[in-house]
Amino acid sequence: MIEEILNKNTPNKTDLIQLLQTEDLDMQHLFRKSKEVKEQTVQNKVYFRGLIEFSNICRKDCLYCGIRKSNNKVHRYNIEDEEILKAARFAYENHFGSLVLQSGEQKSPAFTKRITNLLDGIQTLSKGSLRVTLSCGEQERETYKQWYEHGAARYLLRIETSDRNLYAKLHPNDALHDFDQRLQCLYNLKDLGYQTGSGVMIGLPFQTIESLADDLLWMQTMDLDMVGMGPYLEHEETPLYAFRYLLMSQQKRFELSLKMIACLRILMKDINIAATTALQAIDKGGREKALKIGANVIMPNITPGKFRNDYHLYSNKPSTDENLEDCKRCLEIRIYLQDNKIAYDEWGDSKHYHNRMTKTKTIKRVPDREIC
């Protein structure tokens, strides 16, 4: 039965539901297949993106997130530009190829300008050889445009769940947390020419297997270039913590996340898939396990050590790897052990992006809505 599904080129919703429910030998079969697809399409290369979590200041109140605006137990920080550029230099000098700048959502002309200046600074120090991904939440189309023109080539904005009813349960019901607005931001990013990344959390309260299968199909319909998804992890200082009794065990969430990655690799063969930090929070070697069965991107945290403990999106977020050199070396060993090679000095652009750009010289235009 599983054999039959795995022999299909593109699984449908019923197939995906079955694949997400596999256990034991069937699950190993699914992983063998996704590993094979990975090797045939994106090969066994792993791309490094140095992750700088440069500020935990956020104007939003997502009900699952530890750094939400209303959590007044959080010590807020904003890393100085100079220190951010120093971390960027570390990535450059260590041949990472790419960098991710991530923060809580801030929206102001000053913030827009600040990111623009940082992008210019990174271009200068790396002589244009570092690819920059931004992950700074929902912004105006004009802001995204400005950042794109200053060298940001990729943007990560998770939809969190493609099910609008579930989305409404995970966010306050107001204009700042609007599902359609988030979607429109993704359309804008794509339309502007970004390599566009999104993703979901896995194992959320109220989430079903059917909904996760829909998430995978949504990613396919959105024709995403990159995906980052990982297990939902409860944080006791958030409203969603009250629903922890509905959760499956963390081990089950971890396993389900690996199955999601495997299914996605089979469904969207040439995209970049990240082995996310949340996997590591449950299983020390979790990211490497994901790389083995389908993921091809890893984001070593290069945020200066003294800020790590304050970017607590969820409990047990790994904040070790304080010594950047050590972090690099042990990752290397672990990745080699999983039959993957690190591609130093390569941008590791999404093959899917290049394929779709050559296929459709003009990207499908989406209607302009002035809502984000």
Which residues contribute to the site for ligand SAH (CB under 6 A)?
A: 58, 64-65, 102, 104-105, 135, 137, 157-158, 160, 201, 232-233, 235, 278, 313-314
**Closer to ligand SF4 by Cβ: residue 50 or 199:** 199
* 120/236 with CB nearer ligand SF4: 236
Decide whether 30 or 229 has the Cβ nearer to ligand SF4: 229
Fill in the DSSP letter of residue 363.
P
Q: 135 contacts which partner out of ligand SAH, ligand SF4, none, CB within 5 to 8 A by kind?
A: ligand SAH
Tokens read off for 309: 């403990």
Measured CA to CA, the distance from residue 190 to residue 201 in angstroms comes to 21
- Token code pair at residue 344: 């130093």
104 contacts ligand SF4 (rule: CB under 6 A): yes
| Binding flag, residue 105, ligand SF4 (CB under 6 A) | yes
Which residue's CB is nearer to ligand SAH, number 103 or number 340?
Answer: 103
Residue 39 to residue 17: CA distance in whole angstroms: 24
Return left, alpha or beta for 226; rule: phi > 0 is left, psi -120 to 50 is alpha, else beta. Answer: beta
Q: Which is nearer to ligand SAH, 37 or 118 (CB)?
A: 118
Q: Which residue in 366, 348, 371, 37 sits closest to 223, CA to CA? A: 366
Q: Which two tokens stand for residue 18?
A: 């079955």
60 binding ligand SF4? (CB under 6 A): yes
Task: Pick one of 33, 38, 68, 190: the residue that binds ligand SF4 (CB under 6 A).
Answer: 68
Q: Which of residues 117-176 bind ligand SF4 (CB under 6 A)?
A: 137
Decide which of ligand SF4, ligand SAH, none touches 102; Cβ closer than 5 to 8 Å per partner kind.
ligand SAH
User: Could you tell me which stretch among 36-44, 60-68, 293-301, 315-323 binds ligand SF4 (CB under 6 A)?
Assistant: 60-68
Residue 68 binds: one of ligand SAH, ligand SF4, none (C-beta under 5 to 8 A by kind): ligand SF4
10 Å CB burial of residue 23 (0-12, 13-18, 19+) is exposed
- Cα–Cα distance between 335 and 339 in angstroms, integer? 7
Q: Which residues of 282-293 are buried (b: 16+ CB within 10 A; e: fewer)?
A: bbeebbbbbbbb
Per CB under 6 A, 335 contacts ligand SF4:
no
232 binds, among ligand SF4, ligand SAH, none (CB under 5 to 8 A by kind): ligand SAH
Residue in 127, 275, 129 with CA at minimum distance from that of residue 199: 275
- Looking at the Cβ atoms of 18 and 301, the one nearer to ligand SAH is 301
Applying CB under 6 A, which part among 62-70, 111-119, 195-203, 217-225 lies near ligand SF4? Answer: 62-70
Three-class SS of 179-241? HHHHHHHHHHHHHHCCEEEECEEECCCCCCHHHHHHHHHHHHHHCCCEEECEECCCCCCCHHH
Hey, what long-range contacts does 165-168 have (CB within 8 A, 24 or more apart)?
166/204, 166/206, 166/207, 166/211
Whether the CB-CB separation of 96 and 143 falls below 8 Å is answered with no
- Contact of residue 233 among ligand SAH, ligand SF4, none (CB under 5-8 Å per partner type): ligand SAH
Nearer residue to ligand SAH within complex by CB, 18 or 276: 276
Can residue 199 be called a binding residue for ligand SF4 (CB under 6 A)?
no
Q: Which residues bind ligand SF4 (CB under 6 A)?
A: 58, 60, 62, 65, 67-68, 104-105, 137
